[in-house]
Structure 1
Amino acid sequence: MALLFEGIDWGTLALLVAAAFAAGWIDAVVGGGGLLQLPALLLAGVTPVQALATNKLASIFGTATSSIAFYRKVRPSLGDTLPMAAVALVGSFGGASVAAFLPASLFKPIIVVALVVVALITLFKPQLGVAAAVRFRGAKHIIIAGCIGAAIGFYDGVLGPGTGTFLVFALVGLLGVDFLQASAKAKIGNFATNLGALLFFIPLGAVLWPLGLVMA
């Protein structure tokens, strides 16, 4: 069978596009689409770092459009959202730099274990509040939002699946933000984490551009 690029043939490409489509649908319904997209890239035979980088490229278009849509609909407060997103971007850049230098022999088992854990958390995620019960105000609120961004941003740079869901959990559970506001803030934060990782992976040459754009 003819190869297209990076050892990907037409049949594998069709499966990857199907996985990307399904991942987008899962993200829209319950979140956690990366649980499907990242393993699909690994099964296609690309290296773990290429899979992470290409997955970020494929995902950033969706997070960008959903961020805009949620902002227009929900109008989340930007006083904590933008600082959280900025710190998340830096955290994701740092996480990607760690991921890039992990040996493949160590990285693959980590991915498998993490995907199982994230899948279970996503499947059995707790009920989230619909009413706001904000726990902190002022600088403390922003600092905690920044800590959330840093931790989850780093995770997204290293691995990624479930990032949006984890952001919602943290914003609701730690800050008391209502679910709709948390979802809107999480979309913006997730866009920032995708961008942060790409800012590291692109100069590294790890992004498989044709494949990522086809899967976007």
Structure 2
Amino acid sequence: MRRVELDPSTVVLLLTAAALAGWVDAVVGGGGLLLLPVLLVAVPGMPPATALGTNKLTAIAGTSVAAVTYARRTRIDWAVAGPAGALAVVFAGLGAALAGAVPPSAYRPVVLVVLLSVALFVVLRPRLGVSAVPRRRTRVRVVVAVLVAGVGVALYDGLIGPGTGTFLVVAFTALVGADFVHGSAMAKVVNAGTNAGALVVFAVFGHVWWVLGAAMAVCNIVGAMVGARMALRRGAGFVRVVLLVVVLALVARLGYDQWLAR
């Protein structure tokens, strides 16, 4: 991308936003909801594709560290997270390659409906994710979870991005009966894969601001470490509350975008 000069206050704003996004991502996903708008507003000369690519460079650092933190402190269901993460690299890359060909107006209403459905699902099922339900983890459900996470959600992440971790957490709790903490742990593994696949494609097309992205990645890692440890310490109830807040914030943001697009 062409060179854009940033004043110190803008740099501080971006680094702070990256740290907060890392915290949100580590707990329940959705850090892009915070960081992408800040990038686009704080750096008006940055093309949307470059904002997406730079965000992926930042996010992959935080999600990878969060995944390691979870793996060290709790059990990850690798039979689900492993294959889903591998598929996610491929399909997120495909989504990123198609990102420029899909206008926001085509997907925004669909995503809004899905997010509202997620919010209602979580609200109307207060026990969802509070504790694990091992009987849900059948062979068929494992396959479905792998395909939903590694193909469907990964494509979405490459195409759009914000809310990916949230969708993954809900998928793992609803489909294979994980509690929110373990669902978030699996989500971090898959999210690292989606970020990696999309980042490669954005990098090939020159849509990554490497210096800025690397600086934000350091702050994102700090936020991710704090967020993952807080989620593990405070448990599924805490993660559920953050999940609802993030989903409602996503609905508000996309609803506002849809209203502006009218």
TM-score band w.r.t. shorter chain: 0.7 to 0.9
TM-score norm. by structure 2 comes to 0.70
What SS does the aligned partner of 1:8 have? coil
> How many Å separate the matches in 2 of 1:35 and 1:83?
26
Q: Where does structure 2 lack aligned partners over 5 or more consecutive residues?
A: 218-262
Structure 2 equivalent of residue 50 of structure 1: 50
- Judged with a 3 Å threshold, the aligned counterparts in structure 2 of structure 1 residues 100 and 194 are, in CA distance, closer, same or farther, namely same
> What amino acid is the match of 1:64?
S
> What amino acid is the match of 1:26?
V
C-alpha contact (below 8 Å) 1:152/1:167 kept by paired residues: yes
> How many Å separate the matches in 2 of 1:16 and 1:80?
34
> What amino acid is the match of 1:50?
T
Matches within 5 A, 1:1-150: 5-43=3-41, 44-45=43-44, 46-102=46-102, 106-107=103-104, 126=122, 127=126, 128-129=128-129, 130-138=131-139, 140-148=140-148, 149-150=150-151
- Judged with a 3 Å threshold, the aligned counterparts in structure 2 of structure 1 residues 213 and 125 are, in CA distance, closer, same or farther, namely farther
Cα displacement string for residues 78-135 of structure 1 (whole angstroms, at most 9, x for unaligned residues): 1221111111221111110111445xxx44x679878977987888772432122443
Cα displacement string for residues 183-212 of structure 1 (whole angstroms, at most 9, x for unaligned residues): 211110010110010121111111110111
> What amino acid is the match of 1:18?
T
Measured after TM superposition, the shift of residue 137 of structure 1 is 2.6
- Judged with a 3 Å threshold, the aligned counterparts in structure 2 of structure 1 residues 16 and 113 are, in CA distance, closer, same or farther, namely farther
RMSD: 2.8
> What amino acid is the match of 2:94?
G
Instruction: Please identify which structure carries the higher helix content.
Output: 2
TM-score norm. by structure 1 comes to 0.83
1:159 aligns with 2:160: yes
Q: Where does structure 1 lack aligned partners over 5 or more consecutive residues?
A: none
- Judged with a 3 Å threshold, the aligned counterparts in structure 2 of structure 1 residues 38 and 145 are, in CA distance, closer, same or farther, namely same
Cα displacement string for residues 148-173 of structure 1 (whole angstroms, at most 9, x for unaligned residues): 12111011111211211110101111
